[in-house]
Homo-oligomer: A and B are copies of this chain.
């Protein structure tokens, strides 16, 4: 029998609420297997910072490294909360974890489940996965400001892209494409404007593609990609793109496939040199926090990705099936966060019989 040590970071807003349901479903999925989970809570986020002045200290980061995986809720203070500096929690907690733990693959599947409405009139059969780069691009935090607060201020942001960083994520995406029936890969960038980074991405994609002759490759500018995402999302199979374009296209993809409340993700370190981290794509939604009405589905589906990362494919599939069944039977009546979690956990347990 195996034991998984799981660090749990609920974070801010609805984060802890949805994570609690994820854990409920995790327990249900592992009951009857020989795998046990041991969770440790970490109180991190805007509230923790307000109380202690610490976002993520070195000792905590080192402790987190010792876990097998991290389940993450959401972070971010309320937009109006002027006590928290802009982006502090996002940069120094969430992005610090992604960068420090070398989560170079941010895996974001998009599937329009049966019975779920899309804002699109004719979405078609949507089932693709975005491989978003997680440790480079405009997210590195390089850049700065000069003459701050004056009329002569200049502020820069530097996007950093390396052959090393692009190759490993592109290779991962080709592996994903190889394992899927359509074996298709679309890479997204803005090569006609961002020519330095664009040339690098193009070269690496072409080099890696030579090792995967069975994969059909195409390219879209990010602006054109947003068009296809609403006119023909079924055209996508595997998408690979940089950190910022991946952020944008996955939110749009989430909206098109039934809402961001269903979008799950894994921040993956494929080399297993540090724990991977699983989190819903949605944010902390301070406007609905504390009311017990947030949809925990994305957190629960993130648990499914986590189970699969442990090789617990059967348990992961049971979670997916239970979610699909729950989604297809949702009516107009609004259930509480806990009620949704209970229902899915119950269905997962029933499926184990």
Contacts and interface: CB of A to CB of B under 8 A. Distances in A.
A198 B87 CA distance: 9
B230 A248 contact: no
Interface residues of A, number: 72
Interface in A204-257: 219, 222-224, 226-227, 229-231, 244, 247-248, 250-252, 254-256
A196 B155 contact: yes
Contact of A251 (B154, B161, B224): B224
How many copies of this kind of chain does the complex include? 2
B122 A197 contact: no
Interface stretch (A16-24, A137-145, A316-324, A331-339): A137-145
B252 A252 contact: yes
Interface string A107-147: 00000000001111110000000000000001101011101
A153 B260 CA distance: 36
Interface residues of chain A: helix, strand, loop or mixed (majority): mixed
16 contacts: A79-B219, A86-B195, A87-B191, A91-B192, A95-B193, A151-B164, A154-B162, A156-B197, A157-B158, A158-B159, A190-B244, A193-B244, A223-B251, A224-B283, A227-B251, A227-B260
Interface of A: 76, 79, 86-87, 90-91, 95, 117-122, 138-139, 141, 143-145, 147-164, 167, 190-200, 202-203, 219, 222-224, 226-227, 229-231, 244, 247-248, 250-252, 254-256, 259-260, 283
